[in-house]
A and B are shown apart, each in its own frame.
Chain A
Amino acid sequence: MRKVSKKVCLLGDFAVGKTSLVRRFVYDLFDEKYISTIGVKVSRKTVAVPTVDGAVVELTMMLWDLAGSEDFSQMRGSYMRGAAGAILVCDLTRPESLANLDSYLADLRQVSPQAMVIVVANKSDSPDQHLLLSQVEAGAARLGAKCFVTSARTGENVEDVFRNLGRTLVEL
């Protein structure tokens, strides 16, 4: 079986759920506590990805969960270097988190212009949503990316996001 490794960065404002998405995907866990990521946290998950020609590729995704806080914005650029893919995460309860994805994408394009991008609107389980699906889709279209609506708490669509990105990365 072909073995491929790819670097994937998770970008977005603080507390949108980047770390929770990774925890859900890698460990199938969710923690209500919020602990701000300092710098970057790297996780790894290996998945079997079918290709268009029917083969199966063993894809190892090195997930770089970058701190969303402004304090770490200077270092983010170097952490994004060499990324094959990126997941831009916004929070359905905070509309400004969708608008801010533009700047993250701009930073990413400076160091990894070829990176494949997916937009994820997280916290679909929350009753306090302020973003409509149409707004998210419009935002993603502006960024030239597919979009998914997820809940790291319930696990809704989390696996789909990473597998979808994985299939795209393997075809590169």
Chain B
Amino acid sequence: MGRLVDAAVDELVEQQAGPLAMQMLETSGVEKSGVETGGMDQPPDSHPSDRGDGLEEDEALSTLQKILLGTDRNQIETLAADVDRLRHRVDDKSALAAAVAPILGEAIRRQIQDSREEIIDALYPVIGQIVVRAVSQAIRDLARSIDEKLQAATDFQRIGQRIKGFFSGVPDSQLALRSALPCTVQEVYLIHRESGLLLWHATRSEENSADSELIGSMLTAIRDFAEQVLGGGKDRLHQLQFGDRELILEFARYSYVGVVMDGVMPTGFRWDLHESIYAFEKESIDFLRQYKGEASTVQEAARQRFEPFLSLGTEVAP
């Protein structure tokens, strides 16, 4: 058996690997035996040499495999690793999405540029439905709000509204509609007029509230900038609008109040704010006139005057 293997190895080596393989076999210590060196003289039942021959053949075969197939094996292992990585990426949905997203975005952008009309035609029915649905929902919410107000109003309030409508020329139904429009006050800032230092602040949501002291100062800087650039005198900056959000400003002699609100300002809101700031000033005039940066003494007065504004209006539908 050993002799047959030897013969097979030799033939294979000579045919496939050539002189280089032969040299490597020799340097690796594998002896050629059997056919060439007269191995037929060895007794067939000699166990140590048989075992020795078997091991040597295995080593020779293994070495031969390495020589012939080494490069291919390395490539296969590399490919297998790549396939594993790709399989992982495909299995992990979030990783796959992250990998594809940049390409997808660019592809969509190009497609929109190249086929604008087709894209519009395809999206129009979908967008139209979304808009219709949103408007319907808003109208339903408005109708519900009006109904609640009408149900909650006492007879006297209803009569008062009708009288107001009669003298102002605005129909009762429109007045009801006007008072039902959604509005939410998010923040109230009370600021020392000259220095821009914050006197008091209240917010509907602590987590969304930015640095109120910085806002007080920046608001004062914006007011000063507007007065310088746009002219027309002092205290002319009454509101700032940013999307659906408004910042309403009302000035008194030594202080001013800023209210951040979403939605439509209710009727009479600005007048109530004006009255509140003037009432506050009247109560705290000495303090405000000589204000030196310590606002602790006016906290309670400010809270009583301005905290109720946070609960005014109706909720804006999400």
A and B from one assembly?
Answer: yes
Binding site for B on A (CB under 8 A): 2-7, 39-40, 42-44, 60, 62, 64, 74-75, 78-79, 81-84, 172
Q: Are B292 and A172 in contact (CB under 8 A)?
A: yes
A98 to B218, CA, bound (A): 29
Q: Are A82 and B221 in contact (CB under 8 A)?
A: no
Nearest chain A CB to B235's CB is how many angstroms away?
A: 13
Q: Are B227 and A81 in contact (CB under 8 A)?
A: no
Q: Are B214 and A42 in contact (CB under 8 A)?
A: yes
B192: nearest chain-A partner, CB-CB: A82
Q: Are A5 and B295 in contact (CB under 8 A)?
A: yes
Against A, the Cβ 8 Å flags (1 = close, 0 = not) of B192-204 are 1011111000000
Q: Are B296 and A62 in contact (CB under 8 A)?
A: no
Overall SS of chain A's interface: strand
A43: nearest chain-B partner, CB-CB: B214
Q: Are A75 and B228 in contact (CB under 8 A)?
A: yes
- Beyond contacts A75-B224, A81-B194: 8 other A-B pairs, Cβ-Cβ < 8 A, are A3-B294, A5-B295, A6-B197, A60-B213, A62-B217, A75-B225, A84-B195, A84-B292
A170: nearest chain-B partner, CB-CB: B293
Nearest chain A CB to B68's CB is how many angstroms away?
A: 62
Against A, the Cβ 8 Å flags (1 = close, 0 = not) of B175-194 are 00000000000000000101
In the complex, the 8 A-B pairs of residues with the closest C-beta atoms, listed nearest first: A82-B195, A82-B194, A78-B224, A42-B217, A7-B195, A5-B293, A4-B293, A5-B197
A172: nearest chain-B partner, CB-CB: B292
A83 to B293, CA, bound (A): 11
Which residues of A have CB within 8 Å of B211? 44
Nearest chain A CB to B217's CB is how many angstroms away?
A: 4
Nearest chain A CB to B275's CB is how many angstroms away?
A: 25
Contacts A5-B213, A42-B221, A62-B217; is A74 near B228 (CB within 8 Å)? Answer: yes
B217: nearest chain-A partner, CB-CB: A42
Which residues of A have CB within 8 Å of B227? 78
Nearest chain B CB to A44's CB is how many angstroms away?
A: 5
Give residues 202-244 of B contacting A (CB, 8 Å): 211, 213-214, 217-218, 221, 224-225, 227-229
Which residues of B have CB within 8 Å of A79? 221, 224
Nearest chain B CB to A6's CB is how many angstroms away?
A: 5
A76 to B217, CA, bound (A): 15
Which residues of B have CB within 8 Å of A7? 195-197, 217
B296: nearest chain-A partner, CB-CB: A3
Nearest chain B CB to A54's CB is how many angstroms away?
A: 19
Contacts A42-B217, A44-B214; is A2 near B225 (CB within 8 Å)? Answer: no
Q: Are B294 and A4 in contact (CB under 8 A)?
A: yes
Q: Are A64 and B221 in contact (CB under 8 A)?
A: yes
Partner pick for B195 among A2, A40, A43, A83, CB 8 A cutoff: A83
Nearest chain B CB to A9's CB is how many angstroms away?
A: 10
Partner pick for A62 among B196, B224, B229, B295, CB 8 A cutoff: B196
Contacts A74-B228, A81-B194, A82-B192; is A39 near B294 (CB within 8 Å)? Answer: no
Which residues of A have CB within 8 Å of B295? 5
Which residues of B have CB within 8 Å of A5? 197-198, 213, 293-295
B223: nearest chain-A partner, CB-CB: A78
Q: Are A39 and B225 in contact (CB under 8 A)?
A: yes
A6: nearest chain-B partner, CB-CB: B293
A39 to B211, CA, bound (A): 20
A37 to B195, CA, bound (A): 20
Give residues 283-316 of B contacting A (CB, 8 Å): 292-296
Which residues of B have CB within 8 Å of A42? 214, 217-218, 221
Which residues of B have CB within 8 Å of A40? 221
Q: Are B228 and A78 in contact (CB under 8 A)?
A: yes
Which residues of B have CB within 8 Å of A84? 195, 292-293
Partner pick for B294 among A2, A43, A64, A81, CB 8 A cutoff: A2
Nearest chain A CB to B254's CB is how many angstroms away?
A: 10
Nearest chain A CB to B245's CB is how many angstroms away?
A: 21
A107 to B197, CA, bound (A): 21
Contacts A83-B195, A172-B292; is A64 near B228 (CB within 8 Å)? Answer: no
B197: nearest chain-A partner, CB-CB: A5
Which residues of A have CB within 8 Å of B229? 75
Nearest chain A CB to B24's CB is how many angstroms away?
A: 62
Nearest chain B CB to A129's CB is how many angstroms away?
A: 34
A147 to B198, CA, bound (A): 30
Q: Are A44 and B196 in contact (CB under 8 A)?
A: no
Nearest chain A CB to B115's CB is how many angstroms away?
A: 43
A4 to B197, CA, bound (A): 10
Nearest chain A CB to B45's CB is how many angstroms away?
A: 89
